[in-house]
């Protein structure tokens, strides 16, 4: 069933392309004149309501080569819009369960053209036929659609843009004998998810014969972060007016403006490649040709910081001992690699041990880190390791009779505490972690060091802990 949604998506994209074409034609079109072109891409997410399933997510990718500018009264040649939708393997299996072999139907797309003649936008509905698509037995498949706009002529100068709206799909999955499945033919309303940029293309309509500003110099990237890029370019000149400013474009939309020859583009996505051009504008309403493009890849996002309180217990296998563990873990998680770095601070703890299998002994333990905490986080799984030197300042029989310890009493080598998430770990919410460590033999614990060391030294020790986000972290 979800495959059907995806197949509709491709048809929806085709319908959107045709809708954009019809819109542009409805705005007042007919004449001639070549213009520079820009390649634009647009990805849109929808939720389409299907029988039995309810709202299902659908994604459409559109690509088009659209003229940058056209003069009033001159022809802007039609442009082709390609759409590609990928159907996932789960959806393919769902369609197969209905004995579907092919999918076909129609898409009715809403789109809007905004030009000086129609400043509030001209809504148009365009119907298109979906290509018949053969479904694979398993795995993903792609559906491709194409639409071409008519030639256009505009009557007023200014800016124009085409936006893509909602979809109505009429679909028929068919079996291998060409007959419909149990669903027959049905309609699905697709609502665009809010908060998206739904501008397919923007272009400029110039006055005929206007000189306008010259093409700006090729921009250069003077600085970039994970979410912004700063550009600078050569100034434009103007023979018929005065240059009043510049607009920076990406994918056919204005992403920054400036009265000078530098601008910072905000709200970018980390670790993403962008292509920018610059257009100058003057006091007569004219806009220049676009500059040559510049491409920049934003930085990876910085590591996210998390602070946790730690609480749980540890078992010391050598003497059937236990000790409470509390403390703090401050960690940073790199979003691109999942690398974890941090600092683990464990509070002192009193361990309850058994000497000779029956004599209760209390050991006061402290923990000294021997380096940072390191590890990885990926797909809900957290793993860390920390080198810790365990010290025992005192041992007391029955909790009151001193029998050893001291400032120099400690393990002869650091322990490596390895922890892993127990179940799915959410860095924002914390979670349970478990692990283990070995303890080396004790040294410098007094005359009976040789008797005290076996109480703690050995392998197979465990830790069972909970990490809880600190308030405000």
**Domain containing residue 447:** 304-469
Q: Per mean pLDDT, which range of 39-48, 342-351, 452-461 is the poorest?
A: 39-48
Residues 444 and 313 in one domain: yes
For 176-212, the pLDDT digits (tens) are: 998 888 778 878 788 899 989 888 888 888 776 666 7
Question: What pLDDT was estimated at residue 34?
Answer: 42
Out of 206, 230, 265, a domain closes at 206
For 129, 214, 292, the CA distances from 220, given in Å and listed in that order, are 45, 18, 10
CA distance 328 to 470: 9
In a domain, 212, yes or no: no
Q: Once rounded to an integer, what is the mean pLDDT over residues 143-153?
A: 70
User: In 175-232, where do the E strands start and end?
Assistant: 186-192, 199-206, 220-224, 229-232
CA distance readout (Å), 124 to 29, 40, 211: 15, 21, 34
Whether the per-residue pLDDT at 29 is higher than 70: the answer is no
The pLDDT value given to residue 148: 67
Q: Are residues 27 and 131 in the same domain?
A: yes
Give me the percent of the chain exceeding a pLDDT of 90: 46
Beta-carbon count within 10 A of 267 CB = 8
Last residue of a domain, one of 206, 237, 262: 206
Digit-coded pLDDT (tens) for 68-107: 777 787 777 766 777 777 766 777 777 777 788 887 777 7
- Per-residue pLDDT averaged across 276-290, rounded? 89
Residue 269, domain CATH: 2.60.40.10
Q: Lowest mean pLDDT of 34-38, 144-148, 169-173, 259-263, name the range.
A: 34-38
In the chain, the percentage of residues whose pLDDT exceeds 70 is 86
Same-domain check for residues 11 and 144? yes
Query: Which residues touch 469 (CB under 8 Å, ≥6 apart)?
Result: 306, 307, 308, 428, 429, 430
Task: Give yes or no: residues 97 and 237 share one domain.
Answer: no
Please state the rounded mean pLDDT for residues 149-166.
Answer: 80
Last residue of a domain, one of 206, 232, 257: 206
Q: Report the number of distinct structural domains present in the chain.
A: 3
Strand 199-206, strand 69-71: pairing: parallel
Are 150 and 29 in contact by the 8 Å Cβ rule? The answer is yes
Q: What is the mean pLDDT of the chain?
A: 83
What is the pLDDT at residue 451? 92
Examine the pLDDT at 252 and tell me if it is beyond 80.
yes
CATH number at residue 76: 2.60.40.2270
Between 387 and 201, residue with greater pLDDT: 387
């Amino acid at each position: 069933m979800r495959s059907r949604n995806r197949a509709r998506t491709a048809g929806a994209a085709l319908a959107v392309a045709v809708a954009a074409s019809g819109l542009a034609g409805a705005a007042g079109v007919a004449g001639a004149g070549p213009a520079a072109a820009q390649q634009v891409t647009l990805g849109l997410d929808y939720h389409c309501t299907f029988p039995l399933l309810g709202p299902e997510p659908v994604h459409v990718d559109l690509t088009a080569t659209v003229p940058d500018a056209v003069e009033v009264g001159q022809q802007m040649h039609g442009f082709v819009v390609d759409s590609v939708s990928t159907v996932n393997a789960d959806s393919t299996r769902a369609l197969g369960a209905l004995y579907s072999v092919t999918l076909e139907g129609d898409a009715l797309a809403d789109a809007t053209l905004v030009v000086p003649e129609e400043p509030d936008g001209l809504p148009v509905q365009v119907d298109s036929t979906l290509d018949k698509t053969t479904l694979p037995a398993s795995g993903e498949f792609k559906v491709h659609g194409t639409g071409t706009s008519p030639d256009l002529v505009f009557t007023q100068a200014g800016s124009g843009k085409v936006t893509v709206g909602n979809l109505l799909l009429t679909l028929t999955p068919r079996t291998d004998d060409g007959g419909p499945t149990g669903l027959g033919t049905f309609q699905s309303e697709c609502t665009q998810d809010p908060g998206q940029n739904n501008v397919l293309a923007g272009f400029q309509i110039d006055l005929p014969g206007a000189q306008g500003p010259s093409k700006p110099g090729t921009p250069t990237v003077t600085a970039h972060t994970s979410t912004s890029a700063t550009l600078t370019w050569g100034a434009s000149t103007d023979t018929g007016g005065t240059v009043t400013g510049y607009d920076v474009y990406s994918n056919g939309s204005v992403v920054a403006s400036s009265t000078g020859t530098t601008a910072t583009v905000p709200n970018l996505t980390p670790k993403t490649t962008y292509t920018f051009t610059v257009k100058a504008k003057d006091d007569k309403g004219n806009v220049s040709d676009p500059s040559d493009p510049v491409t920049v890849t934003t930085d990876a996002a910085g590591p996210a910081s998390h602070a946790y309180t730690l609480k749980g217990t540890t078992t010391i296998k050598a003497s059937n001992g236990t000790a409470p563990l509390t403390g703090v873990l401050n960690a940073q998680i790199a979003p691109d690699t999942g690398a974890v770095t941090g600092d683990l601070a464990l509070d002192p703890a009193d361990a309850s041990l058994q000497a000779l299998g029956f004599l209760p002994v209390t050991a006061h333990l402290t923990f000294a880190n021997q380096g940072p905490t390191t590890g990885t986080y990926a797909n809900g799984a957290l793993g860390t390791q920390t080198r810790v030197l365990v010290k025992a300042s005192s041992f007391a029989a029955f909790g009151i009779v001193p029998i050893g310890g001291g400032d120099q009493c400690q393990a002869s080598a650091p322990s490596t505490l390895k922890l892993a998430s127990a179940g799915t770990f959410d860095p924002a919410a914390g979670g349970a972690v478990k692990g283990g460590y070995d303890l080396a033999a004790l040294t410098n614990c007094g005359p009976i060091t040789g008797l005290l060391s076996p109480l703690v030294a050995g392998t197979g020790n465990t830790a069972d802990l909970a990490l809880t986000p600190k308030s405000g972290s």
